[in-house]
Structure formats: structure tokens, C-alpha cells
């Protein structure tokens, strides 16, 4: 088991240094159908003032309490900079550093309604192997 865990730790560290280096996270509205064939163009991004995809800063790779190899991003907060938004955020997606290739996406457990500049959604991306 130790060799397997060590191998997964190295594999995930290499993945972070490779295709996940410079990755960005964005939000989406609506209810797109998520599949292996999903494209960035399938997602409608929020229209609130100040919205932009955020670059991901990865924390060190570790073994979680379930014995899986995991890496978490730093906390990113999406929040309108002004105005009166009217977005219902239903999910997130992660792209490559150029923002042109979808790497993965997910639906929020509870949608977040943006109706004032004080509304926000904190995001931490977790990637787990094993």
C-alpha cells in the first residue's frame, strides 16, 4: 500500500505541475447536462459586474483521512464588484491555463443567488485520486 500511495502522491504532484498548472475556475448558471463530451461553450457564465474566471493556486498534495491522495486549491471568492446582479449560480468548471480546454465541471449542492454586491460564493477545488 505504501508504494501505491507514494506513486499516487507523485502522480498527482506531476498532474498539478503539468496540465493543472495555471488552471482556472469559472462559474455557470442554468442547468447544462454534464458529460464527458461537455465543452466550455455549454456553460453560461454569470453576467454580474466584476465576474472573471480565477486562476487556481494549489496547496501541497496530501493523503486524506480516507487514505486517498488529494490536493485542494486555495480559497477563491466570487463576488460582484457593484450593481444589482441577477444571477443564479448552479455550478463551476475548471479549464486549462489558456481557458480553452474544459478539464472538469460540477454542480453546486445548493445554487447561489446573486442579487446584491454583498452576495458571494467561496470556492475550493478538490482533486482526489485513489
Distances (CA, A) of 95 to 17, 46, 122, 128: 15, 16, 18, 17
Read off the pLDDT band of 125 (50, 70, 90). very high
Q: Is residue 96 part of a domain?
A: yes
CB 107 within 8 A of CB 90: yes
Read off the pLDDT band of 104 (50, 70, 90). very high
Q: Is residue 51 part of a domain?
A: yes
Listed range (8-12, 15-19, 77-81) with the worst mean pLDDT: 15-19
Mean pLDDT, all residues of the chain = 91
Q: Is residue 93 part of a domain?
A: yes
Residue 1 has pLDDT above 60, yes or no: no
Structural domain tally of the chain? 1
Q: Spell 115-127 as b/e; 16+ CB within 10 A means b.
A: eebebebebebeb
Return the pLDDT at 19.
80
**pTM for the predicted model, two decimal places:** 0.87
Q: Is residue 40 part of a domain?
A: yes
In angstroms, the CA 106 to CA 43 distance is: 11
The distance of Cα 50 from the centroid of its chain, to the nearest Å, equals 18
Query: Which cell numbers hold the place of 4?
Result: 501505491
Q: What range does the domain containing 106 cover?
A: 22-60+70-124
In which residue are the cell numbers 500500500 written? 1
Amino acid at each position: 500500500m505504501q508504494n501505491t500511495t507514494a506513486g499516487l502522491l507523485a502522480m498527482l504532484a506531476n498532474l498539478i505541475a503539468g496540465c493543472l498548472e495555471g488552471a482556472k475556475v469559472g462559474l455557470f448558471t442554468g442547468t447544462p447536462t454534464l458529460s464527458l463530451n461537455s465543452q466550455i461553450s455549454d456553460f453560461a457564465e454569470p453576467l454580474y459586474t466584476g465576474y472573471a474566471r480565477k486562476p487556481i493556486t494549489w496547496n501541497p498534495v496530501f493523503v486524506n483521512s480516507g487514505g486517498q491522495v488529494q490536493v485542494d486549491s486555495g480559497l477563491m471568492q466570487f463576488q460582484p464588484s457593484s450593481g444589482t446582479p441577477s444571477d443564479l449560480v448552479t455550478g463551476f468548471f475548471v479549464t486549462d491555463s489558456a481557458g480553452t480546454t474544459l478539464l472538469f465541471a460540477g454542480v453546486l449542492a445548493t445554487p447561489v443567488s446573486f442579487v446584491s454586491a454583498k452576495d458571494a460564493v467561496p470556492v475550493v477545488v478538490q482533486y482526489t485520486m485513489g
